[in-house]
Amino acid sequence: MKSFTYQRVTTPVEAAAAIAAKPGAKFLAGGTNLLDLMKLQIETPTHLIDIGRIGLDKIEPTANGGVRIGALVTNTDLAADPLIRKDYGILSRALVAGASGQLRNKATTAGNLLQRTRCPYFYDTNQPCNKRVPGSGCAAIAGFSRQLAVIGSSDACIATYPGDMAVAMTALDATVETINPAGKTRQVPISQLYRLPGKTPHLETTLEKNELITSVVLPAPAGGTHIYHKVRDRASYAFALVSVAAILFKDGTGRIAVGGIAPKPWRVPGAESLLPSGAKPFSAKLMEGARPTKESEFKVNLVERTIALVLKEGKS
């Protein structure tokens, strides 16, 4: 690990100002992703700004009947919160399906959203990776690609977004709230938070330079049946091959976001009008334009089968 300096801050504005003042700085919260990458020298920040004491650790109702989740609420606390379990069950189930109990105790809401989209070749510094070194190439395309993206990828990167929480929040139409060094705030729909790789896979989100996530806002409960189904190679501590976050209503309509198949949580609202017709028409529209490799093409069928299972469960 390379040497770095360390700073504690006490307010969100101070945190944003601190990172603006130190080129090469990174925010540190739970550290479950950043510290691993620092050990491998994939991330080499010159300065760490500890935001663990800036508050932002509450889950509170909003005036319009929704809920505001502070950026530093841990995954464990969020999954166990009575309001989340009652009205946003899809989110609680997705969180419990992710990582391990120890990691969930440390991982934060904002940190989870901002974990790096990655693949095994991203971790191997002996291999070319356009995420680590823009323009160096993508070893995954000609390598082992079974777990990687089948849609939304590019000739520069086929890495898959690994998280569970963001998939559920995408189905819930969450909004991310931020603040910049000048104290200006803005709201970003989660559907607009993540970038597709294109020619610049090292740019993963639409956050502006030095912008800090302060909270995530969920709208008023949608009702319906909430289902999170995760297909993986082992029963725990594994990224999804395919995950489905679904909110299903009695009239056959619903919202569905899919994980494990793209560089971001994948949702196509235009496909959701096809849900009453069944899994096959819906998944055909959802996966329109898919570009799997020979090793990953099974995922296209797995998406359809998993959605069919979820729809069946929603009717039972």
Backbone angles phi, psi at 160, to 5 degrees: -115, 135
Give the pLDDT confidence score for residue 120 in this predicted structure.
97
Rounded to an integer, what distance in angstroms lies between the CA atom of residue 73 and that of residue 79?
Answer: 10
**If residue 225 lies in a helix (H) or strand (E), which one and from where to where?**
strand 225-231
Mean pLDDT, range 234-248, rounded to an integer? 95
Rounded to an integer, what distance in angstroms lies between the CA atom of residue 160 and that of residue 273?
Answer: 26
Question: Tokens 């819906």 belong to which residue?
Answer: 282
Q: What percent of the chain has pLDDT over 70?
A: 100
Give the pLDDT confidence score for residue 87 in this predicted structure.
98
Give the pLDDT confidence score for residue 208 in this predicted structure.
96
pLDDT bucket at 280, cuts 50 / 70 / 90:
very high
Mean pLDDT, range 257-286, rounded to an integer? 97
pTM over 0.85: yes
Rounded to an integer, what distance in angstroms lies between the CA atom of residue 79 and that of residue 99?
Answer: 13
Would the pLDDT of 101 be above 90?
yes
Closest by alpha carbon to 87, among 251, 206, 225, 262?
A: 225
Mean pLDDT, range 94-118, rounded to an integer? 97
Cβ atoms of 246 and 227 closer than 8 Å = yes
Backbone angles phi, psi at 315, to 5 degrees: -90, -15
Closest by alpha carbon to 204, among 275, 262, 127?
A: 262
pLDDT per residue as tens digits for the range 2-20: 899 999 999 999 999 999 9
pLDDT per residue as tens digits for the range 148-207: 999 999 999 999 999 999 999 999 999 999 999 999 999 999 999 999 999 999 999 999
Give the pLDDT confidence score for residue 91 in this predicted structure.
98
Rounded to an integer, what distance in angstroms lies between the CA atom of residue 137 and that of residue 129?
Answer: 5
Give the pLDDT confidence score for residue 182 in this predicted structure.
95
What is the bridge-based pairing of β-strands 25-28 and 47-50?
A: parallel
pLDDT per residue as tens digits for the range 28-66: 999 999 999 999 999 999 999 999 999 999 999 999 999
pLDDT bucket at 316, cuts 50 / 70 / 90:
confident
Would the pLDDT of 1 be above 80?
no
pLDDT per residue as tens digits for the range 119-129: 999 999 999 99
pLDDT per residue as tens digits for the range 288-309: 999 999 999 999 999 999 999 9
Give the pLDDT confidence score for residue 86 in this predicted structure.
97
Measured CA distances, 132 to 43, 116, 157, 216, 304 (Å):
9, 11, 11, 28, 33
Give the pLDDT confidence score for residue 125 in this predicted structure.
95
Rounded to an integer, what distance in angstroms lies between the CA atom of residue 17 and that of residue 5?
Answer: 16
Closest by alpha carbon to 104, among 73, 82, 74?
A: 74
Mean pLDDT, range 97-125, rounded to an integer? 97
